[in-house]
Structure 1
């Protein structure tokens, strides 16, 4: 059974295994990984995890243009399956990337994990008083489109970005979902 947890330094090895499945770079949305983060060493990894916790404080937030962020890792036992972030405000970065971003490691896909995790983060957004959230994905990512639409995402349009066309969906938050 999967769980959503706050990033934890104790999962260094497990996170590195998940990261290796994506290949080099910082492209796994939902983890808040920046090019300046050094995650290979235990000390660097612990510093990154601390930065993610600090991103809840608008005065310290470095991801999403200073917007506070709630990061959660999707885990099963001690295995990191993916990550998801709720960006709790609006900035130029959020306008581009959305309020919620997520990534599932390739070997854990097609299990409904993204749909499940998105639902949990929508619950978190509801508790925080957000009335709607923007979720953006790559145009060719059919699985993400289906995940977003399962949660009531309504297509605003498709914008061209430096990463290619990106469909933009708004999800209204209000009455708790069944």
Structure 2
């Protein structure tokens, strides 16, 4: 049964395969988390270890780049297989409040349409509550009916549409 896991070196080969899948998928735009992977992380184990350390450090003020907010990144895993990625932003900038939200998630193409996105979001909501987020803001593209269903099935209440994004409030407890 899949679980949310901290990013770790043991998932390296599966993570790299997932990145290739995301880049080859022409059905959706390549996620920012894929473009954010350090190039050296894709080519050697030491670079991957540095990438993991950077991602884990983003949970602290010291690890956050200028203009960003603290973020807890988790991987949806089963055994050693990385099936997806989820990020909980601890707070929102004005831009994130418009089109990003507190929680973003991606399921690797080969694992889509198997219920992972809904289960991943459900597992993340109590973690968001622990971070002090009583009601999470989630957004999705107007055209992404699957993501809308995932959000609504987890209690999402439609708030508004801005810049081609649908905005929802989701209780975290």
Pairwise same-fold verdict (TM > 0.5): yes
Query: Match of 1:104?
Result: 107
Distance 1:51 1:92 in 2: 24
Contact preservation (8 Å) 1:73, 1:83: yes
1:94 is displaced (CA, Å) by 2.4
Q: TM-score, normalised by structure 2?
A: 0.87
Write out aligned runs for 1:49-64 (5 A).
Answer: 49-62=52-65
The count of residues paired between Structure 1 and Structure 2 equals 167
Cα 1:156–1:98 change in 2 (3 A) is same
Q: TM-score, normalised by structure 1?
A: 0.85
Unaligned runs of at least 5 residues, structure 1: none
Give 1 or 2: higher helix fraction. Answer: 2
Q: Secondary structure at the match of 2:4?
A: strand
1:172 is displaced (CA, Å) by 2.4
Distance 1:130 1:157 in 2: 19
- The answer to whether structure 1 residue 142 and structure 2 residue 145 are counterparts is yes
Unaligned runs of at least 5 residues, structure 2: none
* Residue from 84, 87, 97 that aligns with 1:85: 87
RMSD between aligned alpha carbons?
Answer: 2.1
1:173 is displaced (CA, Å) by 3.0
Distance 1:125 1:74 in 2: 16
